[in-house]
Structure 1
Amino acid sequence: MKIQRFIQQHQTHITLASAILIALGFFAKFVLHSTIVYDWSFILASIIAAVPIMIHAYQALRVKVISIELLVSIAVIGAFIIGEYNESAIVTFLFLFGSYLEQRTLSKTRESIKSLTEMAPATAILVNEDGSQEEVDIDDVDEGDHVLVKTGASVPVDGKIVSGSGYLDEAVITGESKPVAKHQGDDVFSGSILGNGTVTVEATKVGEDTTFGKIIELVEDAQDAKSPAESFIDKFAQYYTPAVLVIAALVYIFTRNFSTAITVLVLGCPGALVIGAPVSNVAGIGNGAKRGILLKGGAVMNDFAKVDTFVFDKTGTLTLGNTAVSAVKTYTDNADTALALVARAERLSDHPLGKAVIDYVNGKDLSFEQLNVTDNDTVKGQGLVADIDQHHVLVGNLKLMQANNVQLTAAQSSDLASVQATGSSVIMVAVDNVLALTLGISDVIRPEVKAQLQALRDHGAKHLVMLTGDNHITAQYVAEQVGIDEVHAELLPEQKVEYIKQFKADGRTVAFVGDGINDSPAIATAQIGIAMGSGTDVAIETSDVVLMQSSFEALVHAYALSKKTVRNTKENIVIAIGVVLFLLLGLILGFIYMASGMFVHEASILVVIFNAMRLIRYGNLKVTPQLQGKSSHALS
C-alpha cells in the first residue's frame, strides 16, 4: 500500500523520468549510434511509466471494473512480447502525460469553485461580555456571540450589525462586486469582506449553517450530480471497454497479427468520451458560481436547457417588492409646497403608504420637518385632515375630498381614473380646499425586466406567464408593461401549483421563478425551480437554481449558460466518438500506428477539455438592441 501511495504521489515525476529516458534513447540511436542504450532506455521508460498505469488497472479490477488503464496495460505487455519497446514507451508516456495535462486543465475549471472554499473565514475575533477580545477558531463561535470585523477582514458569521458601519463587498454571496453600505441593524453574510470601517456583528448562524456555508456545500454537491449525458457515458463505458477487448481478440484470431490487435486496444481507449461530459458540467457550474448563480448539478443544467415556459411570481420577482410613488399629477403652481405639506402630514400617520410619500419628498431634497402643525385629525376610511403652516391640508381618498366639498374638474377626474387603472393606491391632496396633487403609489417594476424577458425569448423561451395573488387590474397592468404573455391573478399558493401541473400536463417544460419563501410549493412543483433572493434557507434547499443577486440579468445568463453547457457536452461527445472512429479507420487503412494513434488519442482529450474551458469565459450576453437601456417605471 505504501508503494502504491508513493507511486501515485510521484506520478508527475515518473512522467518526467519517462520523457527523459525516451529522449536519451533517441539521442543514443541517432547521435551515439548505440542500439543497446537505445533499447534499454525505452525498456526502462516503459517499465517505470507502466507501473502507475497497471496499479490503476489492478485497483479497478478489484472492484470488477474493466478500465482504460487495463487496455493500455495489456497493450504494453503485448508490445514487450513483440519487442516494440519504443512503441510501449511512447504509449505509456503519452498516457501519463495526457493524465497530467487533464488534471492541470481540470483544476483550472474548478478554480472559481475552489476560491469559494478558500474565502471561508477560519477564525473570528470574539467580543466577550466584559468587552475583551480574543481570536478564536470559527468552530468555537456560537449563535448569539458578538464578533468584531475590522477593515479588510471577512465576516465570519451570518448575523446583524449591533454597532458600527461600513461598506461590505458581498460578491461571494450575490456575485455583485459593488460594495453595499451597512449600518446598525442591517443583516450581513459570512464571507463578505468589510471594505472600510469596523463593525460588531451578533451571530445568528454559524459554520455550515451560514448562507456562505450552504453555498459551498451546494456547489460541491453540484459537481457530483451527474447529467443524463454523464450517466449514459458511464453505462456506455461499462460495455464499451470489454467490447474493445473482444474486438482486439477477434482481430488477432482473424488476422494472426498480434501487433494490430494490440494497437486496437490502445486506439480504442474512450478517454475523451469519459472526460468530455464531466468537464463541461464542472466548467458551467463554476461559471455560474462565480456570478452568484447556483445550479444544482448536471441534471439541473440539462433540464433547465429544455425549459420553454417561464412562470413568474409578481411581487418581489417582476417587481422590487417595495412601494414607491409611481405617478404625480399636479394642479398647483407651487407643487413643492404641496409636496412638503403632504410629507409633513404623513409624519403624523403610521400608514404604510405614507413612508413612500416621505421617501419621495426626501428624494427631491424638500424641507418639511420644520413646518408647524397646529391641528390634525384622522378620518377613518378617508384619510387625514391637518392645519400646517397656516394651510388647511386634506390627505386621503376621493371620499375625503367629497366630504370637504373639494370639487374635481373633468381633467382631474380623468387623471384619477388613469392612475387607478394601473392598480396603484391613490392619495389625493387638497390645500385650502383646492385639489393640488394626485399621487399614485405602488410596487415598482424592476427597470430591467422588459429587456431581459425579451432576452429570454431570444434564447428560446416560448411562453412567459405570471401567477400572482394580487388583483387582476394590477397584474394585467404589470404584464402589459413588461411583455408577459399570460396572466392569472388573485391566486392562493395551492392554485399556483395547479396551474403549473396543468402546464406540465400540456407538454411544457416549466421553470417557476419566485422569492423562494411564499412560492416554495410552486418552485418544488415545476421541473426547474428558480429562487431570486439573497439566499434564504428555503430558497437554497427547495429550488434547483438560486440567483443570489436577485436580478433578471442573472436569470438570462443562467438560462443561456445551461443551453451552452448542454451544447458543449454534445460537442465533446461528437469529438470523442469521431476521433475513435478516425483512429480505427486509420488502422484499417494503414496510416495510423500505435504511437501516432496514441498521440491523436491524447490530443483529443485535451481538445474536449479546452472546448469545455470556453464555458468559464462565457458571459457576454446580447440583449435585443431596441430594448437595451429602456426601463419601465410602471408599478403594480
Structure 2
Amino acid sequence: MSMQRQTRFRIGGMDCASCASKIDTAVRGMPGVDDVSVSVTAGTMTVSHDETSDLDAIGKKVRRLGYSVSPAQAKQPGTHTDQHTHGTCCGGDHDHDANSGRHDHDREGEGDAPVVEGLHGHDHTPMDGPWWKSPKGRLTILSGAALVAAYLVGLVLPAIEIWAFAAAMLVGLVPIARRAVMAALAGTPFSIEMLMTIAAVGALIINATEEAAMVVFLFLVGELLEGVAAGKARQSIRSLSELVPKKALLEDEQGTTREVPAETLSIGSIIIARPGDRISADGIILSGESAIDEAPVTGESVPVSKAKGDAVFAGTVNGDAVLRIEVTAAAEDNTIARVVRLVEEAQEKKAPTERFIDRFSRYYTPGVVAAAALVAILPPLLLGASWNEWVYKGLAILLIGCPCALVISTPAAIAASLSAGARRGLLIKGGSVLETLGKLTAIALDKTGTLTEGKPKVTDIVSYGRSETEVLRLAAAVEAGSSHPLALAILKKAEVDKLDLPRSSDNKALGGKGVSATVEGSEIFFGSRKSASERGDISDAHKQEIEALHADGKTVSVLLVDGQIVGLIALRDEPRADAEDGLKALELADIRTVMLTGDNALTANAIGVRLGIEVRADLLPADKSRIVGELQAEGHMVGKVGDGINDAPALAAANVGIAMGGGTDVALETADAAILHGRVGDIAALIALSKKTMRNIHQNITIALGLKAVFLVTTIAGITGLWPAILADTGATVLVTMNALRLLR
C-alpha cells in the first residue's frame, strides 16, 4: 500500500475562483494525486499524493497554465506546552490579582524558494506594486488605448472603422485566447477565457467589432480588479507577522543585555521587555509586574495585569514596568505565527467556487454549437432541404446562442449591487461573497468593537459621604495625564460633566495596584479593592456593593481620601446603540446568532443577557475558529463578524467573514466583506442586499435564455432570420443591463 503524503505549494497570480478551478482540474488528473485543495486568497495549493507522484511535473503543469510555483511546506507546530492562560476582561472589582488594566489599575476579573514565472504573454505574477506597473495592468491600459484609438479612427476614416475595432479587440483577445487554449489542453475546455474568446470571435464574424472590442476590454478590467484585491488580501496575511518586533533584548548569563534578531531566540532564552515595547516572543514572566495590552491576540477590551509566572504572547504591548521573560516558543511557532497559519489553513479549506457563467458554459456553449451544426446539416442530408436555407438558419442559431447576454447578466447585477452597497458603507469582496451572504443561517459576532463600542464608559458612580460629582472630580484629578483606557473614560466623563479638576502632586503609579496623588492637601488613592483594603477600611457592605457591580460585568475602582473610602466608579464597554435592534433583525430573518469573545464570562454574559444573544467567552483565536467549524458541522452556513487581529482565523474559517468599521487592517483585508459604519444593523442589510441581487441575477438569466429560446423556435420555423437573431442577443444584453441597474436604487 502506498503512503499518502501532503505537499504545499505557493501559487503566484491566482485572482479568482476560475483560476483555482483550472489549477485543481489540471493537477487532480496527474498520476499519484489523490486530492487537491487550492486557496485563492492565501495563494496556496495543497496536494495529497503518494510516493509515485512527480512533484516537478506538477509544478510544470501549473506553470504551463501561466502561474508561478514554489514549495511552501509549512513547519509543523512545536511540541511545547501551550501556556496560554487566557485572562479575562473588563469585568471585575478592580482587584489586580487576576488580570489588569494598563498602568496602575489591576482589574480583578478582567479579563521560501525562488518563484519561476509562467508563460510568456499570460501573466499571473503577483501584483505587489502599483497595478499600472503589472503586466496585467499594462495589458488593460494598452487594450483601453487601442479601443479609444479605434473610435478616433472611425470618426476620421469611417471606411476602416470595422478593421480598427478588430485590431483593438485583438490586442486584448490574443492573450485571452492563449489562456483559453492552455486551459483546454489542461482539461478545462470551456473556461471563462474560452467563453470570452467565442463571444468576441462571434461578434467579429457578424462585424460587431466595436462590441467585441469593448467586451474584451471590460473583461480585462474585471480581471485586473480581481488581481489587485487578491494581492492586497495576501499582503494582509503577511502583515500579521509584522506585529512581532524584528529585534529582541536578550539577557546573557552575566546579566547584560544585547539586541538580537527576534527570529534567533530559542526556547529557554531570557528577554527583557521595556515599558511600551512589543513583546518579541511567547514566554513566561520571571520577574516584574505590568499591564499588558493583549488586544492584538485575545481581543481583551482592557489591558491585563501580568506578574511572575504569567504567560505573555508575542506581539502584545508591555505597559508600565520592565519584565524579564523566559521564551517558551520559537519565532516560527509563536502566537502570531499560529494565527497566520490558522488564517491560511482556514482559507485553503474553502472549496473553490466557480463563476456561474463558467460552470454553465461547460454545457451551454458546446450545446449551442452542436445544435447549430445539426440544424445546418441534418435537414439537407436527411430531407433533401436547401443547403443555403438551413446553413443560414444554423448561422442564425449560432448568433442566437452567442453568450454575450449571459456573460453580462451576472457581472452587471453584481457590479450594480457592489456599487449600491459601497454607497451605504457595505463593502463586499466579489460576486461569490455576495451570493453566499444570502445563504447564511448563523452569525458569530465578536463582542469588543463589534457588538460594543470597544471603549469602556463610566456606568456607575457610588458615593459615601460625598457627592457623586466630588468622587468623579477627585478620581479624574488623580488620573489626569494617563493614557490608560479606563482613565480616559473617567476623564471623558469629567469633561462631559464640565468639571473643574484640581491640581494633583506627588503622583505615583503603583504597579498592579492603582494610582496615588496629593489633591487639595489630601492623600488620594484610586485603584483595586484589594489594594484599597490594604490602605483603608473596606466594610462588608462596601464589598457587597463592589461584588454586585462586578457580577454585572463591570470594572470597579475604589477611591480613598486619607485612607477613608469615599466612592466607587464602575466602568464597562457598553453595547452599540443599534446592537439590540440589529440582532433582532437577524432573528427575524431566522438567523442564529452567537457571541464569541476573549473577555471573561461575567463581562460577556452581562452583555449577552442585555442583548439576548448566546455567549461563548474566554476564547483564544483558535477557539473562535473551532466554534465556527462546529457550527458548520451542524449544517449552518456561518458568517463571522469581528474587528480585530484575533478574529482573523475565524473570519477566514467562516463561509463569509465580515469586518466591522474601525477594525484593524488585517481584519478588513482578511474578511470577505466590511461594514464601514460599524452598525450591527448593517449585517442584516448585507444579507438583504445579497438576496435582492440573487433575485435580479435569476431574472437576468431568465431574460437572456428566454429571448434566445423564443428566437430559436421562430428561426427554425422560418419566421425570423439573421438580423432578428442578432437582436435576440443584443436586445437581451440591453434588457439584462437595464434590469441590473435597478439595483443602484
Instruction: Identify the match of residue 248 of structure 1 among 375, 379, 383.
Output: 375
Q: Contact between 2:711 and 2:720, CA under 8 Å: does it hold in 1? A: yes
Worse-superposed segment, 339-348 or 54-63:
54-63
Aligned length: 458
Amino acid at match of 1:359: K
Amino acid at match of 2:198: S
TM superposition shift of 1:461: 5.7
Which residue does the alignment assign to 1:389? 520
> Matches of 1:388 and 1:53 in 2, distance apart?
79
Following superposition of structure 1 onto structure 2, how do residues 496-535 of structure 1 map, counting pairs within 5 Å? Answer: 496-532=624-660
1:605 aligns with 2:715: no
Q: Contact between 1:514 and 1:523, CA under 8 Å: does it hold in 2? A: yes
Q: Contact between 2:621 and 2:650, CA under 8 Å: does it hold in 1? A: yes
TM superposition shift of 1:446: 2.3
Following superposition of structure 1 onto structure 2, how do residues 119-138 of structure 1 map, counting pairs within 5 Å? Answer: none
TM superposition shift of 1:73: 6.6
Question: How has the CA–CA distance of structure 1 residues 432 and 535 changed in structure 2, closer, same or farther, with 3 Å as cutoff?
Answer: closer
Which residue does the alignment assign to 1:138? none
Report the secondary structure of 1:465's partner residue.
strand
1:404 aligns with 2:560: no
Question: How has the CA–CA distance of structure 1 residues 108 and 567 changed in structure 2, closer, same or farther, with 3 Å as cutoff?
Answer: farther
Which residue does the alignment assign to 2:612? 483
**Which runs of 5 or more structure 1 residues have no equivalent in the other structure?**
22-43, 77-91, 117-224, 619-636
Amino acid at match of 1:521: P
Which residue does the alignment assign to 2:690? 562
Q: Contact between 1:248 and 1:262, CA under 8 Å: does it hold in 2? A: no
> Matches of 1:602 and 1:438 in 2, distance apart?
74
Instruction: Identify the match of residue 467 of structure 2 among 314, 321, 334.
Output: 334
Question: How has the CA–CA distance of structure 1 residues 350 and 11 changed in structure 2, closer, same or farther, with 3 Å as cutoff?
Answer: closer
Which residue does the alignment assign to 1:229? 356
Following superposition of structure 1 onto structure 2, how do residues 307-456 of structure 1 map, counting pairs within 5 Å? Answer: 307-330=440-463, 334-347=467-480, 353-370=486-503, 388-389=519-520, 395-398=526-529, 400=532, 404-405=536-537, 415-429=545-559, 436-456=566-586
Q: Contact between 1:295 and 1:545, CA under 8 Å: does it hold in 2? A: yes
TM superposition shift of 1:495: 2.0
Following superposition of structure 1 onto structure 2, how do residues 621-636 of structure 1 map, counting pairs within 5 Å? Answer: none
Question: How has the CA–CA distance of structure 1 residues 101 and 608 changed in structure 2, closer, same or farther, with 3 Å as cutoff?
Answer: farther
TM superposition shift of 1:512: 1.8
| Percent identity of paired positions between Structure 1 and Structure 2 | 29
What's the TM-score, normalizing by structure 2?
Answer: 0.51
Which residue does the alignment assign to 1:469? 598
TM superposition shift of 1:393: 5.0
Amino acid at match of 1:488: R
Report the secondary structure of 1:519's partner residue.
helix
Question: How has the CA–CA distance of structure 1 residues 286 and 107 changed in structure 2, closer, same or farther, with 3 Å as cutoff?
Answer: farther
Q: Contact between 1:475 and 1:489, CA under 8 Å: does it hold in 2? A: yes
Q: Contact between 1:267 and 1:598, CA under 8 Å: does it hold in 2? A: yes
Amino acid at match of 1:301: L
Amino acid at match of 2:654: A
Amino acid at match of 1:338: V
> Matches of 1:529 and 1:510 in 2, distance apart?
9
Instruction: Identify the match of residue 715 of structure 2 among 576, 579, 587.
Output: 587
Report the secondary structure of 1:442's partner residue.
strand
**Which runs of 5 or more structure 2 residues have no equivalent in the other structure?**
1-142, 182-193, 230-351
Give deviations 1:205-232, integer Å, cap 9, x for gaps: xxxxxxxxxxxxxxxxxxxx98531321
Question: How has the CA–CA distance of structure 1 residues 354 and 538 changed in structure 2, closer, same or farther, with 3 Å as cutoff?
Answer: closer
Report the secondary structure of 1:518's partner residue.
helix
Instruction: Identify the match of residue 304 of structure 1 among 424, 428, 437.
Output: 437
Question: How has the CA–CA distance of structure 1 residues 319 and 598 changed in structure 2, closer, same or farther, with 3 Å as cutoff?
Answer: same
Question: How has the CA–CA distance of structure 1 residues 582 and 105 changed in structure 2, closer, same or farther, with 3 Å as cutoff?
Answer: farther
Following superposition of structure 1 onto structure 2, how do residues 31-430 of structure 1 map, counting pairs within 5 Å? Answer: 67-68=198-199, 92=207, 95=208, 228-250=355-377, 252-253=379-380, 254=383, 255-256=385-386, 257-258=389-390, 259-289=392-422, 293-330=426-463, 334-347=467-480, 353-370=486-503, 388-389=519-520, 395-398=526-529, 400=532, 404-405=536-537, 415-429=545-559
Which residue does the alignment assign to 1:492? 620
Instruction: Identify the match of residue 672 of structure 2 among 525, 544, 551.
Output: 544
> Matches of 1:483 and 1:263 in 2, distance apart?
61
Report the secondary structure of 1:67's partner residue.
helix
Amino acid at match of 2:403: P
Question: How has the CA–CA distance of structure 1 residues 103 and 238 changed in structure 2, closer, same or farther, with 3 Å as cutoff?
Answer: closer
Question: How has the CA–CA distance of structure 1 residues 365 and 265 changed in structure 2, closer, same or farther, with 3 Å as cutoff?
Answer: same
TM superposition shift of 1:48: 7.6
Which residue does the alignment assign to 2:244? none
Amino acid at match of 2:366: Y
> Matches of 1:474 and 1:58 in 2, distance apart?
59
Report the secondary structure of 1:365's partner residue.
coil
What's the TM-score, normalizing by structure 1?
Answer: 0.59
Amino acid at match of 1:235: R
TM superposition shift of 1:276: 1.0
TM superposition shift of 1:348: 9.3
> Matches of 2:651 and 2:172 in 1, distance apart?
45
**Aligned-CA RMSD value:** 4.8
Give deviations 1:238-263, integer Å, cap 9, x for gaps: 41442243243146535533344443
> Matches of 2:173 and 2:647 in 1, distance apart?
52
Q: Contact between 1:338 and 1:431, CA under 8 Å: does it hold in 2? A: no
